[in-house]
Chain A
Amino acid sequence: MAKGRWVVAALLIGTALGSPLRAQGTGSVSGRVVDSTTQQPVANAQVQVVGTQVGGLTRLDGRYFLTGVAVGAQRVRVTRIGFGAQESAVTVTAGGTATADFTLAAVAATLSEIVVTGYGSQRREAITGSVAQVNADEANKGVVTNPNQLVQGRVSGVQMVTNNGEPGGGVQIRVRGGTSISASNDPLYVIDGVPLQNEQTVASGPSVGFDAALPRSPLNTINPSDIESITVLKDASATAIYGSRGANGVILIQTKRGSARAQTGLRYEGYAAAASPTKELGYASGDEYRSFVQQQVAAGNLDPATATSLGTANTDWEKEITRQAYSQNHNIAFAGGTEATKYRASLNYFEQQGVVVSSGLKRYQGRLNGLHSTFGGKLGIGLNLAASRVNNDYIPFENGGGFTGGVFTNVAIYNPTRPVTVTDPTTGKQVYYETGSGAQDARNPVAMVKQISDIAPENRVLGNVTGTLTLLPSLTAQTTLGVDYSGSVRQTYIPRVNAIGASTNGYARQSETNLQNLNFQQLLTYNPNFAQKHELDLVGGYEYSSFDNYGFAVEAQNFVSDQFTWNSLASGVAGAAPPPTSYDNESKLVSFFGRANYGFANKYFLTGVLRYDGSSRLAEGNKWSTFPAISGSWRLSEESFMSNRPLGLSTLALRAGWGIQGNQAVRPYGTQLLFKADPGARYPFGSGLTTGLSATQVANPDLKWETSNQINFGIDYGFKNDRFSGVIDFYNKKTKDLILEVSVPQPAVVSTRLENIGDLKNTGVEFSLDSRIFEATKRNLTVGLIGTIDRNEVTSLGEGRSFVGTGDVNGQGQTGRLSQRIMVGQPLGTFWGPKFLRVNEQGKQVFFCAKERPECVNGETTVPAGDDDEILGNANPDFTLGLTSNGRWGNFDASWLWRGEFGGDVFNNTALVYQTKSAVKQGRNFLKDALNDPDGLAEPAIFSSRWIESRSFVRLQNITLGYTFDARSVSKFSRSLRAYVSGDNLFLFSGYNGYDPEVFVSRGLAARGIDYVTFPRARTFTTGLQIEF
């Protein structure tokens, strides 16, 4: 059905595109673009004949030449990042060449440029919503694994928390706070106009004696060097055009394109980097452990056998599993073209080692962007194609941490008096020391990282073809077909020689994940030339997306040899391994949308947006929803009463907007009663096993999109000819019909289901300031500052429900303890538990209590009960700051980025569990700090306010120093040459005791700010080279 229509659509497009178009008489436009202050040529400025596809870039000498311009009065617009846009009217005669020279005035980066918006682009001045843009070249410093990192600290209102220090680790990215509880809070990513399916591209690792680590970022397959710009759409008036997918903000990524330069340019960029862990947590050393045990034995607190059974080694397990890690990146790109055909191609090889042994990733990517215009610029065909392969190498580290744990748990608990390796008495070979043959609860962490193989090659193809047809000078039709396909196989083998593998005689698993996303867009853009005072820009469109995600997993064990690994699963047997599993989720999203931008006299702008989205994921009657938005702006600085520039104000604009966005994170088939033959529903009738067919999901046909209603007020300001300029935005975002996974009244076949329950509110202020502190011909200094204040509050959880418990505490002896509550009147990430008072003379922890009971004496108890729990803090920062600076002094350039978050708490789950001396009773190590704790040896780890720490920090994210060689000295060889050194994560100012206060561990609904034995962060030094041939 759908496929048939595709054919029809394709044929129609083909017919349309193939229609003979006879060019009318055309002429050319040429000219030169220079910088107003330096009078130096401005290269790479975009020159466009307004309302047509005719355009190109200026050459190094600032000159441009456009051919195929329709005869008559035309307007030519020049734009360049960092400069104010300019327009000029020309009259083109058939066969003649009109001249238009431009003098551009430099402005701070956020203002006056062409900004990519949803389904089109706009002049910065005409934008009425809250939109921020990052120039990727300026942000691409140091070791940047994926595009997310380009945004960090550079856009106000965007909070990014990288899960941990794993190469390519996943990122929690929140545009204007979390708007949802159960549903995804990730923004929508759109690459070259095609929405990306932001799903996990690689299957999770197996949980064999440990919980699998969090997935890595799906954006690792995208090479940051190919990115031209990243635009973040923040408010509803900007994101409503993405309708049901816009609630969490939209991140638009534009890749680099070719230009019609005189000569083809070849550019090489490369760097090499070395990284090492920033910090050790500090577990007790072998000597410290031994003397502590002996001291406790002497005091009669431990069995003397405990001391005699100790080893003689002094192993620092933390050090044993970490390393100096190296990274390298090589990027070759060439770009060029003619007025009619432009292209850019790039190749990338990127390799990053993790600071923990045997972890890392490698990326190979090729990208081709091409643009061809014909029929006098009336027909444009564009192609963006990127193919990448990422080879992931994982280590078996835990996300949550089960009873026995993965690498980092065992680093914490493994007895430091034990050696890493011992000589096997029978073979005489060095083997990893293990305490037992598999039934033990502690495993040699070095053996874990070295012996267990866990890799995942993944392939991703991202591509789209676009046909643009200028139907009338002011009317353009654009058709885009996009595909986003990714496939990966997670391959894991735990060998027989390993303590975990020994219990199953080897364990192998292959798990394949495939994501397929087809996107079709049809746009009509109407951009008429009115009298000078009016501007109108209408976009109408239709979009169709189909998603098909499928995969399977197979496990085997009982291998006779470790040679087979996952490559010969049949060499093992199923054993206790679960039966093979597979899944397939298909869904469709169909949309109609329109947007109107109207501007008058470059003073008043109005935007209206309407999107009508239909999704297969919802039940009949709720499939379709409408998402409207309206916004306007008034550029006061263009008014005559501001012409004397009071207070030095060169730019002043007021913006206001309102809109409704949706969050469509209902999983496919999420509203239906589903039956599956679940392995857990089997039952042995007689001697065989009878398959069990059971309901795996409760139906909820009433389920609909969660919607956010957002108001935004903004001010764009600029002083002293925009030498100081920036944006201030205020917003209020109310999410209603929250999609919440809630317990349902019993009896129910499944005890929870998704319901539209409750409301959530985010209010905030964002500001940015860009300033050109100092400017001279070859010397300049710019400083950018961004700040964000976001307040999140749960305003309702539905009738009768006052809280939802979340944030499971990790570690042995913590089962069932929750650390957070989602509560009405409080933000997400609110810590909840007993309040710690002190440690008493008996070495027992004392907690506050209020409710009368025998264990509560004088408002104090050593046995906290749920009734006395209270709010202990929350994980959200009060405010965040980002400070960037770029400077140039002759041939030297320098830049840095500082980031800081202030206020907010983090739960140091690692310290709770491992800073407990009682671990010694089980022969386990503990954090050195415990030696100074007054806690008695009999005291278990008890969650309380004691383990909630301040999250505030200031980080020197990156500092880069570069030198550009004089063209003359390198001219024989290349056109330009720049070398640089760069440092990432050089300083962290924080009072936090764990590795890093910026952590994410997934432990329940909307839980945040929990730190538990994560992958350590790295400090990285990079040296790099950029050569243009």
Chain B
Amino acid sequence: MTSFLSKSIRQIGRGAMLAALVALPPLACTDLTEVPNDALTPDNAFKSDAELIAGIASVYARLRNPMWGYYNLSEITTDEVVVPTRGSDWFDNGRWLEIYRQTWTANSGSALDDMNGAWNDAFSGVARANLMLEILDKSTATTNEQAKAELRVLRAYFYYQLMDFFGGVPLVTGTALEANPRVSRDSVFKFVEAELLATRETLPLTRDAGEYGRLTRGAADALLASLYINAGVFTKDQGINANTYNSCAGITVSGGKDACQAASDMADSVITSGVYTLATDFKQNFSTTNEASPENIFVIALTNQPGLGMSFAMRTLHYNQLSTGGGGPWNGFATIAETYNQFDHAADKRDAMWLVGQQKSFNTGQNVNDRTGAPLIFTPTIGNIESATEGEGVRYNKFPPLPNALAGDAHPNDFPIFRLAEMYLIKAEAQLALGNTGAALANVNLVRARAFDPPKPLAAISPDVIMQERLFEFAGEGKRRQDMVRFGHFLDARQFKGSREAYRVLFPVPATQIQSNAKLVQNPGY
């Protein structure tokens, strides 16, 4: 009996043990739900006003990226900036010379790098705006309508850049990740116009100091003015005049208006808003404290933090001229003698943007040497852009650096996308196209008045005169390519460059973009 019992117990025990072991797996965890510890997801993000403002800030943050791709391509393709190869330095797969000489192809270094970067930069701004707009649509926060208007203007600005560079692009306002075909350039033009017209009234005329940097009605109006003045280019996929002025006259825009009239009206809307005045000192617009300039309409607000500032000084100054927390400058961008010599070195205050001759340190004020130990002297002449010496080429110092900035890309000068001077010049250009030479001349001279002491007004006006005045006023502000295309001089031969084919007024769609979106059709000619 005992032995039977013990045997039974043993068997039961063994069975239970077996059951327990076999039963273990299902008991153990098979729950595979994943909740990120170090990131938010759509399920738990944007539940407060602070989170929403942070989301909006992230869209504004995308304004900084175009200061590389969009800016460089807008400058180096023109007579304002050349990047000579110095030794192996700045060779970079030949891309800088290729941009200057306009010899890019859809597969070349500049297309795969800079143009692709410009495409991605602008579109990521569009995508962030689309995402935040979708989130705001579901949100009940109080500042909703104004925030949405702001985001729509930002998005319109990114599309404006894309249209400027590539022509028609996929026009997307949702957040689904899918391949979309390009629409016509005119459709993008109409979209940007409609978005700006629909939102401008919602935006405030002015902002409190605490909101400096956020968009106002002036920004929307200035963007519209620029859009309209470029209507002769922006509404056309093909048939842009390669060698003559592309006037806005004769193109009908919203409300049946002539585009030139619309450009003039929008420029006027800004000029007469009472919010902006020309800064008395031209240099004030570009200083490290230029947030105080009364002329700013639409700026990229920058600050002395790594990655949150400007790096133009780094691109152009010599290695030994400046010492920031992120090291010395890169000795790249220079201008050609042909352009430098157009400036009135004697009288035009705007000529002060150029650095020429013996150079001093921005930190110590002492003369500096180049890296071989010889005195650093910038010369207007560049012997050979494929093999320049360290000192060849005049440099631009329009946005003077902050010595000891925390990093090379931390110079706190705000970048003006639009400032009041441009509204006068747009108005002048529009009035000239509409046949009002007097009004045109008056507006140009109004801008010139500040640059000369005693004044040196112009007596005659033509599109080419306006283009040149825009060079003096906006050199280094990333506007030259758009201007040269509009005025029909983009493809002209110039120092170190031959004349180029008409199709190059548009950049190629970068090959990498076509690889990831088979619906994209290449621009003609490439």
Interface of A toward B, CB cutoff 8 Å = 1-2, 5-6, 8-9, 12-13, 15-16, 19-20, 22, 209, 302-303, 305-306, 308-309, 403-404, 435-441, 469, 471, 475, 477, 479, 503-504, 520, 522, 524, 542, 544, 550, 557, 575-576, 578, 582-588, 590, 592, 614-617, 623, 668-669, 672-698, 742-751, 753, 799-805, 809, 811-818, 853-855, 863-867, 869, 913, 916, 918-924, 937-943
**Which residues of B (367-395) have their CB < 8 Å from a CB of A?**
369, 371-375, 384, 386-387, 389-390
B32 near A439 with CB under 8 A, answer no
| B27 vs chain A, min Cβ distance (A) | 6
Are B516 and A575 in touch, CB under 8 angstroms? no
In the complex, 7 of the A-B residue pairs with CB atoms within 8 angstroms, ordered by the A residue number, are A542-B28, A576-B306, A614-B32, A744-B177, A801-B515, A811-B88, A941-B88
Stretch at the interface among B72-80, B245-253, B325-333, B338-346: B325-333
The answer to whether B36 touches A672 (Cβ under 8 A) is yes
Q: Which of B258-266, B316-324, B478-486 makes up part of the contact surface? A: B316-324
Given A590-B32, A801-B515, do A941 and B21 touch, yes or no (CB 8 Å)?
no
Chain B contacts of A867 at CB under 8 A?
105, 107-108
The distance from the CB of A891 to the nearest CB of chain B, in whole angstroms, is 52
The interface residues of chain B lying within 8 Å CB-to-CB of A690 are: 53-54, 57
| Closest CB in chain A relative to B339 CB, distance in Å | 23
Pairwise interchain contact B127-A749, C-beta atoms closer than 8 A: yes
Asked if B374 and A306 sit within 8 Å, CB to CB, the answer is yes
A686 with B24: CB separation less than 8 A: no
Q: Is the CB of B177 within 8 A of A745?
A: yes
Q: Which of B205-213, B218-226, B228-236 interfaces with chain A?
A: B205-213
Q: Does B112 contact A (CB under 8 A)?
A: yes
Query: Which among B10-18, B195-203, B347-355 touches the partner chain?
Result: B10-18
Residues of B within 8 Å of A557, CB to CB, are: 325
B18 touching A471 by the CB < 8 A rule?
yes
Query: How many A-B pairs fall under 8 Å by CB?
Result: 377
- Given A672-B36, A687-B209, A746-B119, decide whether A813 and B91 contact each other with a Cβ distance below 8 A: yes
Q: Which of B25, B302, B518 contacts A800 (CB 8 A)?
A: B518
Would B130 and A747 count as touching, CB distance under 8 A?
Answer: yes
Q: Residue B58 at the A interface, CB < 8 A?
A: yes
Residue in A closest to B105 when the chains form the complex, CB atoms: A867
Contacts of B303 in A (CB 8 A): 684, 689
CB–CB B513/A303 < 8 A: no
Structural contact, B371 and A923, CB atoms closer than 8 A: yes
Q: Is the pair B320, A813 in contact by a Cβ cutoff of 8 Å? A: no
B318 CB to nearest A CB, Å: 10
Q: Kindly state the separation between the CA atoms of A922 and B387 in the bound complex, as whole angstroms.
A: 11
A816–B322 CA distance with the chains assembled, in angstroms: 26
Q: Report how far A503 CA is from B124 CA in the complex, Å.
A: 34
B61 touches A669 (CB 8 A): no
Query: Is A673's CB under 8 angstroms from B325's CB?
Result: no
Known: A686-B211, A742-B516. A863 touches B28 (CB 8 A): no
Shortest B226–chain A CB gap in Å is 22
Inter-subunit contact A751/B124 (CB<8 Å): yes
Within 8 Å CB of B85, what residues of A? 813, 940
Contact of B407 among A13, A309, A576, A748 (CB under 8 A): A576
Known: A471-B17, A694-B128, A921-B389. A440 touches B302 (CB 8 A): no
CA distance A933 to B264 in the complex (A): 62
Of all chain A residues, the one with the shortest Cβ separation from B15 is: A471
15 extra A-B contacts, CB within 8 A, seeds A12-B20, A16-B21, A623-B32: A2-B29, A12-B27, A22-B10, A435-B371, A440-B328, A675-B55, A682-B308, A692-B58, A693-B58, A746-B124, A809-B93, A816-B92, A816-B95, A939-B387, A940-B88
The answer to whether A812 and B88 touch across the interface, beta carbons within 8 angstroms, is yes
Q: Is the CB of B305 within 8 A of A524?
A: no
Q: If A686-B211, A854-B498 touch, does A922 touch B371 (CB 8 Å cutoff)? A: yes
Closest 3 CB pairs of A and B: A309-B373, A305-B374, A439-B328
Residue picked from B24, B213, B390, most chain A C-beta under 10 Å: B24
Instruction: Chain B residues near A745: list those with CB within 8 A.
Output: 170, 177-180, 516-517, 519
- How far apart are the CA atoms of A6 and B28 in the complex, in Å? 7
Known contacts A586-B37, A746-B513, A799-B518: A686-B209 contact under CB 8 Å: yes
B131 located at the interface, meaning its Cβ lies under 8 Å from any Cβ of chain A in the complex: yes
B29 A1 Cβ-Cβ under 8 A: yes
Binding site for A on B (CB under 8 A): 6, 10, 13-14, 16-18, 20-25, 27-34, 36-42, 45-46, 51, 53-55, 57-58, 60-61, 85-95, 97-98, 103, 105, 107-109, 111-113, 119-120, 123-124, 126-128, 130-131, 170, 172, 177-180, 208-214, 301-303, 305-308, 319-320, 322-328, 330, 369, 371-375, 384, 386-387, 389-390, 406-407, 410, 498, 512-519
Q: Is the CB of B94 within 8 A of A676?
A: no
- Cross-chain contact of A913 among B16, B88, B371, B498 (Cβ < 8 A): B88
- The residue on A at minimum CB distance from B31 is A1
Q: Do the beta carbons of B374 and A746 come within 8 Å of each other?
A: no
A143 to chain B: closest CB distance in Å?
Answer: 38
Contacts of A865 in B (CB 8 A): 94, 98, 103, 105, 107-108
Contact at B372–A303, with CB atoms within 8 Å?
A: yes
Q: Which residues of B contact A585 (CB under 8 A)?
A: 37-38
A942 — which chain B residues lie within 8 A by C-beta? 91, 94
> A576-B407, A744-B177 are known contacts. Are A676 and B301 too (CB-CB below 8 A)?
no
* A686 lies within 8 A of B213 (CB): yes
Evaluate contact between B20 and A15: CB separation under 8 angstroms.
yes
Q: If A15-B20, A582-B38, A676-B39 touch, does A681 touch B61 (CB 8 Å cutoff)? A: yes
Minimal beta-carbon separation of B125 from chain A (angstroms):
8
Interchain nearest-CB distance for A305 vs B (Å): 3
B29 x A748 contact (CB < 8 A): no
CB of B41 within 8 A of CB of A674, answer yes
Interface centre among A471, A684, A751, A814 (most CB of B within 10 A): A684
B120 contacts across to A, CB distance below 8 A: 746, 751
> Is the beta-carbon distance between A16 and B20 smaller than 8 angstroms?
yes
Interface hub of B21, B40, B178, B209 (most chain A Cβ within 10 A): B21
A803 and B515 contact, CB distance less than 8 A: yes
Instruction: Identify the closest chain B residue to A520 (Cβ).
Output: B28
A682 contacts B372, C-beta separation under 8 Å: no
A20 to B14, CA, bound (A): 10
Bound complex: CA A308 to CA B375 (Å): 12
Chain B residue with the shortest CB-CB distance to A869: B107
Contacts of B212 in A (CB 8 A): 685-687
Once the chains bind, are A5 and B27 in contact (CB under 8 Å)? Answer: yes
A669-B384 contact given A693-B58, A814-B93, A941-B91, CB 8 Å threshold? no
Closest Cβ–Cβ distance, residue A805 to chain B (whole Å): 7
Q: Which residue of B lies closest to A441 (CB)?
A: B319
Contacts of B20 in A (CB 8 A): 12, 15-16
Picked from B21, B34, B179, B373, the residue with its CB within 8 Å of the CB of A672 is B34
Measured CA separation A693–B124 after assembly (Å): 14
**Neighbouring B residues of A801 by C-beta, 8 Å:** 515-516
Shortest A921–chain B CB gap in Å is 4
Say yes or no: A748 contacts B209, CB within 8 Å.
no
Q: What separation, in Å, do the CA atoms of A19 and B179 have in the docked complex?
A: 64
Contact A744 B93 (CB under 8 A): no
Closest to B155 in A: A747
Residues of chain A lying within 8 A (CB to CB) of residue B384: 938
Once the chains bind, are A922 and B34 in contact (CB under 8 Å)? no
B85 to chain A, nearest CB (A): 5
Residues of A close to B514: CB separation below 8 A = 800
B128 in contact with A695 (CB, 8 Å): yes
Contact in complex: B34, A617 (CB < 8 Å): yes
Q: Judge whether B42 and A750 touch: CB under 8 Å.
A: no
Which one, B179, B213, B326, contacts A684 given CB within 8 A?
B213
Within 8 Å CB of A479, what residues of B?
21, 24
Chain B hits for A586, CB < 8 A:
37
Cα-based distance from A744 to B123 in the complex (angstroms) = 11
With both chains docked as a complex, state the minimum distance between the C-beta of B508 and any C-beta of chain A, in angstroms. Answer: 11
Contact B58 A685 (CB under 8 A): no
Expressed in whole angstroms, the Cα–Cα distance for A287 and B61 within the complex equals: 52
Which residues does chain B contribute within 8 Å of A803, judged by CB atoms? 515
